[in-house]
Chain A
């Protein structure tokens, strides 16, 4: 049996869901193929920071577009996804960190971007009274914040279903081939045919790229997160630190989420990752230096995610150079959550018309092409 459609999206993470949703809103018939269930990996393992702070300049146009979209998320998916603009703060714990932050803000200002500002110790203490004094200041973006990842997945999924996207879970892609002007994709024993395929397979994106005859040099990241027991609300902004591995925030439930990019271990077989408590332990020092009172909190859960990461830490967004009709959107390297609404818009542009007004050259898949053709 062959099912014909306009667009096949591979991957039911948030980027796949957003691309599927926004393409379907343009009138395309969309099938989304997911190997497990929607949001199973990186989208469900994320700290869900909604952050323009300290982003690569290349990502900022998409990031600032997304910042506005998050403030109006109900219009896109009928729910605010738990977004809370509590701000993001990047602390400078020493003079080198302060100099780097100030240089970055000066560069942004020169480019005409004013979203980040420097705040001194007094303003910092006002914003984050529960933090140990002693930091030299911080970069601050008031409009940033965080969201509820599972609520976001639910909202995007429900909006997709309402818009007529066909979501097939437990349908792992096993075959992918271009025949004349169409792609044939086999998943879960069903053959789908469409002129355009979106590769939003996250940590499995490189496998899909290889199957499609466009092997790309993309690695895997297994960033760890820990969550504590619940406490009284006391922390508004999301805290990070320049030159340190830290991400610290309080969720709406009152739990604290601690991350910052410390890496877990990829399990044998490569299908999942496990926590490395030795590494986590070493990374606790920054958290405890800034928030010594968390020492008494119980750690309730820890996990390691599965996420694609590129050498330059920029995502892969755009048409494949070698496989016509294939659009890549993966490799967000651990900071793709905020970009979900704007990147979905870009992919819908490409799926609908083949072009987009957004500058994508920094994200060009061609920069990561390896010479090996798929067998």
Chain B
């Protein structure tokens, strides 16, 4: 059968859009890699919010709200397929105008093609990879990965941890960890120290979402009052040791400092997941405030490829509340494009959605200015491409040898050709190219993304052919 809509991702945006589209009686399939709905932000929310779960309290009220959305989603009548890995999206038919898509997906080792008239990518974000010397050493992981362990099985890191980075997530995680009895040795704040100067112009706008501000201030105050070691203005982080992390070293305006460390958790913000839209050659725009690409969308959430929509953090980092609003807006846009919602009604519905989105985004300019992506010099010995083990020095040398084109540097060095397809190195490589040629980041772009979007075995690929015949 051909579904009206295939939604990829069962986080806030995907679940909300599924509910809204089902309410209009459209057939919806939802494909998601996780075993249960929630996405990353509400990962494990159904299990963790069962009565008697101590995790639910520690994870906070905003997390618990996810359980309501998941409940509505389960009841929506959408064909929900968990543990489904989408590895390719193609427009089917030979005509450019054909409004039909093929979504290639693997579930339990069996590949399958799902046909849908519209596709909504609600695939969220990934943590911004920020290479520094020693970031590949065991003992170093991201805050997001640590939080996933917490949500998936209530796992706390073994022994005291150091947290380094900037943004709401490290503060939230530190807060959650303390509430659940984890040990934090120290917190390295990598945001520049001129907080007030950067934040003040955006404070007024952010007051529209004063609840979030109060919450954030509470997390910060908790860290200050807890007596754990706190360093500000941190740069030039290094993770040293042999096989495992043993010591961390960093710079502050007062000089170099170091400490023994067994676990270092890092986080420098999120970037939208753009591999599918890049691979489908949708137009993208460079956001200089978020230092990342995002797909260019019209007012209905549609990309520059007709019939392909994006919602949630994949359309720009705005958080879970905004993701719900974006899911609603995309559902309106999709219903309109399928002809089940007439244009004037769609515009009315959109106005309410736009207001909700605008409110949910109110604190974002403040957050973006308080926690800018780190732009410090990357030392030549830092590994940039983990798959091919290439250093910043090697990428710089290749960047200087020819045109300022990430595809050329990829062809020359293999950076971006490994299994992660440049998810770890892509932005850093582009930034090094921009620096070498003295170009604005927006002009360098990103290397071409080759399919598959996720690794698939040759056996799975072959099983697709058998399923068809």
Q: Footprint of B on A, CB under 8 Å?
A: 36-40, 44, 150, 153-154, 169-170, 226, 228-229, 258, 265, 267-268, 274-278, 280-282, 284-285, 287-288, 294-303
Q: Is the CB of A284 within 8 A of B458?
A: yes
Known contacts: A37-B405, A285-B462, A302-B451. The answer to whether A278 contacts B456 by CB under 8 A is: no
Task: Pick the residue among B94, B412, B419, B465 that contacts A154 (CB under 8 A).
Answer: B412
Task: Pick the residue among B96, B102, B403, B458 that contacts A295 (CB under 8 A).
Answer: B458
Q: Is the CB of A284 within 8 A of B450?
A: no
Known contacts: A169-B403, A301-B450. The answer to whether A37 contacts B408 by CB under 8 A is: yes
Q: Is the CB of B421 within 8 A of A301?
A: yes
Which residues 90-106 of B have a CB within 8 angstroms of A? 90, 94, 96, 102, 104
Residue B227 interfacial (CB < 8 Å): no
CA A287 to CA B459, docked complex, whole Å: 10
Task: Pick the residue among B104, B408, B419, B459 that contacts A277 (CB under 8 A).
Answer: B104
Known contacts: A36-B405, A275-B88. The answer to whether A298 contacts B464 by CB under 8 A is: no
A selection of 9 A-B contacts at a CB cut-off of 8 Å is A153-B411, A228-B458, A277-B452, A281-B465, A288-B458, A294-B459, A299-B452, A299-B457, A302-B452
Q: 20 additional contacts, CB 8 Å, given A40-B411, A296-B457, A298-B419?
A: A36-B405, A150-B411, A228-B458, A229-B455, A268-B96, A275-B90, A275-B450, A275-B451, A276-B90, A277-B104, A281-B462, A284-B458, A284-B465, A288-B458, A288-B462, A294-B459, A295-B459, A298-B455, A298-B458, A301-B450
Residue B197 interfacial (CB < 8 Å): no
The residue of chain A having its C-beta at the shortest distance from the C-beta of B111 within the complex is A281
CA A280 to CA B450, docked complex, whole Å: 14
Q: Give the interface centre of B111, B281, B407, B411 by most chain A CB atoms within 10 Å.
A: B411
Task: Point out the residues of chain B lying under 8 angstroms from A281, CB to CB.
Answer: 111, 461-462, 464-465, 468
Task: Point out the residues of chain A lying under 8 angstroms from B464, CB to CB.
Answer: 277-278, 281
Q: Give the interface centre of A36, A154, A278, A303 by most chain B CB atoms within 10 Å.
A: A278
Task: Point out the residues of chain B lying under 8 angstroms from A302, CB to CB.
Answer: 450-452
Q: Is the CB of B462 within 8 A of A37?
A: no
CA A226 to CA B88, docked complex, whole Å: 14
Task: Point out the residues of chain B lying under 8 angstroms from A275, CB to CB.
Answer: 88, 90, 450-451
CA A184 to CA B19, docked complex, whole Å: 63
Task: Point out the residues of chain B lying under 8 angstroms from A278, CB to CB.
Answer: 102, 113, 464-465, 468
CB B395 to nearest CB in A, in angstroms, measures: 15
The residue of chain A having its C-beta at the shortest distance from the C-beta of B462 within the complex is A284
CA A76 to CA B283, docked complex, whole Å: 43
Q: Is the CB of A39 within 8 A of B411?
A: yes
The residue of chain A having its C-beta at the shortest distance from the C-beta of B416 within the complex is A301
Q: Is the CB of B402 within 8 A of A287?
A: no
Q: Is the CB of A37 within 8 A of B456?
A: no
Residue B417 interfacial (CB < 8 Å): yes
Closest 10 CB pairs of A and B: A295-B459, A281-B465, A284-B462, A298-B455, A281-B464, A268-B96, A37-B408, A301-B450, A169-B403, A282-B465
Number of A-B contacts (CB under 8 A): 104
CA A280 to CA B113, docked complex, whole Å: 13
CA A14 to CA B101, docked complex, whole Å: 37
CB B33 to nearest CB in A, in angstroms, measures: 16
Task: Pick the residue among B418, B459, B461, B465 that contacts A300 (CB under 8 A).
Answer: B418
Q: Is the CB of A287 within 8 A of B458?
A: yes
CB B219 to nearest CB in A, in angstroms, measures: 40
CA A36 to CA B88, docked complex, whole Å: 27
Interface string of B437-469 (1 = CB under 8 A from A): 000000000000011100111110110110010
The residue of chain B having its C-beta at the shortest distance from the C-beta of A170 within the complex is B403
Task: Pick the residue among B113, B419, B468 that contacts A229 (CB under 8 A).
Answer: B419
Task: Point out the residues of chain B lying under 8 angstroms from A169, CB to CB.
Answer: 402-403
The residue of chain B having its C-beta at the shortest distance from the C-beta of A292 within the complex is B459
Which residues 350-408 of B have a CB within 8 angstroms of A? 402-403, 405, 407-408
CA A280 to CA B421, docked complex, whole Å: 20
Q: Is the CB of B457 within 8 A of A297?
A: yes
Task: Pick the residue among A258, A282, A298, A303 that contacts B457 (CB under 8 A).
Answer: A298
Q: Is the CB of A284 within 8 A of B461?
A: yes
CA A282 to CA B90, docked complex, whole Å: 16
Q: Is the CB of A298 within 8 A of B462?
A: no
The residue of chain A having its C-beta at the shortest distance from the C-beta of B398 within the complex is A154
CB B417 to nearest CB in A, in angstroms, measures: 7
CA A258 to CA B457, docked complex, whole Å: 13
Task: Pick the residue among B94, B457, B461 that contacts A280 (CB under 8 A).
Answer: B461
Task: Point out the residues of chain B lying under 8 angstroms from A282, CB to CB.
Answer: 465, 468
Task: Point out the residues of chain B lying under 8 angstroms from A303, CB to CB.
Answer: 450-451
